[in-house]
Amino acid sequence: MFLTGFAALAVMPLLPVAARDLDGVGLYPLVAGAFVAASLLGGVLGGAWADSGGARRPLTAGVVLTVATLLVSATSTTIWQLALGRFTDGIAAGLVAVSVNAAIGQSYPDHLRARALSLMSACWIVPSLAGPPLAGFVAASWSWRVVFFGVAGFTLIPAAAAVLLLRGQPAQPGASRKSGSSETSVYRPALPATVAVSVAAALTQYGVSAWNAWHAACASVGVVLLVAFAPKLLPPRTWRAGGGLPATVLLRALTSGAFFTLEAFVPLMLSTARHVPGVVTGFAFTGAALAWAGASWVQGRLQNRVPRHRLVAIGAAIMAAAVAVAALCTIPAVPPAAAVSSMAMAAVGMGLATPSLTLLSLAHTPADRQGYASGAMQTSQSLGQTLVLAVTSALFTAVSAASTSPLPAFAGAYVLLILPIASAACLAGRTRVADADQLDASGLSVATAEGQLR
């Protein structure tokens, strides 16, 4: 997880430089969206694999594939090769994320799972401090390719450990759990539907990057495919916020989509509309990563005091306040530093809500289907990021075309983000685990009701 965070925070800022170097700036939205689109596929594959044979094999495959795809990106001679590298890296990231969550659910005792997940979040602290400046220094001194090669070299160490140290251990899926979970029947998604949704996500993100017939056609095809196939990858009644796992999966989409869209637009506003130095934008990302890790640490120690669904509602409320602060920064008289603080505030909300939602997803899922639950959460997160970002970008592009100042477009984007966050706060009660209050009052963790995860 440490190297996953380092790779993400080091590589992402360099993608525009790589696209410019490869004469492919026009296809940059496809390169940026390929990772998220492919993580859908990786998450579903990893979840099914973890359920059938344990988390060891998909984790091994994920870290080995990560090394290979970083080398593909490092040796890119065209923008299409870079897009292919990012797409396959997304598959690897989906495998690793779901495998880690499933491994914690299958291996750790109930009272340690929340703390294990907070440790996973803490693994991002050092990468958030060192990743972006170190990658920028290396790219400026040598080349962006050296960053990809370097990250691949570092990742080779855990890849070798996964292959050599884990190959002799038996691959066992989670033990069957006696009935009593709120989700007694779980369906596995079909691979064709997963591929269709991954392609649709990439098409949608590419389509909203400009206003012309070609981009409109791509966006339309992407939306049609998402409407047709996305429900097949999620638990029944997800879009209706059915109680238990469906509502938990839906809230992951709403909160993740809102946060990562805010994380995309605040730096853009700081750079283009408020004209702040690049170092200020870097502080925004660093502060957000530290705030997320700190809030995750706090939630790991509140499991016996505050029910998980209430932590989700509190996190959503904090995120709503953060979006309001970002919207205020579209007023020229408000200092740009307030926008930086909005990212940290939103990260606090995510640090409380995200681990709680994962723990709730396992609490609603039998032990032998926790890989599926992790895959559904990963799929929901990717879909939420794709859809919320696409709708917000479309509004932003339309308002920008009709206004001489970029600030009204940013204001409209922030106001739109209130909708998914408010929905998450209102629906948090539907994720509640039965008798969670009684369990908390008796000193037992919410996990005792039927499992947990990130």
- 247 shares a domain with 103: no
Domain contains 174: no
CB of 148 closer than 8 Å to CB of 73 = yes
Q: What is the token pair recorded at 416?
A: 């739109």
- 133 shares a domain with 263: no
With left for phi above 0 and alpha for psi between -120 and 50, is residue 434 left, alpha or beta? beta
Spatial separation of the C-alpha atoms in residues 46 and 126, rounded to whole Å: 27
- 122 shares a domain with 5: yes
- What pLDDT shows up at residue 374? 72
Counting other chains too, the contacts that 242-245 makes at CB distance below 8 Å and 24 or more residues apart are 242/430, 243/182, 243/430, 243/431, 243/432, 244/182, 244/183, 244/364, 244/430, 244/431, 245/182, 245/183, 245/186, 245/361, 245/364, 245/365, 245/373, 245/376
Domain boundary among 168, 188, 220: 168
Domain contains 216: no
Q: How confident is the model at residue 144 (pLDDT cuts 50, 70, 90)?
A: confident
Q: Which of 43-57, 159-173, 392-406 has the highest mean pLDDT?
A: 392-406
Q: Which of 280-284, 326-330, 403-407 has the highest mean pLDDT?
A: 326-330
Domain contains 197: no
- What pLDDT shows up at residue 324? 94
CATH of residue 118: 1.20.1250.20
Spatial separation of the C-alpha atoms in residues 267 and 54, rounded to whole Å: 40
- 300 shares a domain with 154: no
- 308 shares a domain with 445: yes
- 144 shares a domain with 290: no
Domain contains 192: no
Domain contains 325: yes
- 250 shares a domain with 132: no
Q: What is the token pair recorded at 279?
A: 């170092």
Domain contains 164: yes
Domain contains 224: no
CB of 19 closer than 8 Å to CB of 27 = yes
For 168, list phi and psi in degrees, rounded to 5: -85, -5
Domain contains 411: yes
Domain boundary among 168, 196, 224: 168
- 140 shares a domain with 27: yes
Domain count, the chain: 2
- What pLDDT shows up at residue 209? 67
- The predicted model gives 306-315 an average pLDDT of 90
Domain that holds residue 308: 237-454
Domain boundary among 168, 199, 220: 168
- What pLDDT shows up at residue 28? 66
Sign for the pseudo-dihedral over CA of 253, 119, 56, 174 = negative
Q: How confident is the model at residue 442 (pLDDT cuts 50, 70, 90)?
A: very low
Is pLDDT above 80 for 259? yes
Is pLDDT above 50 for 439? no
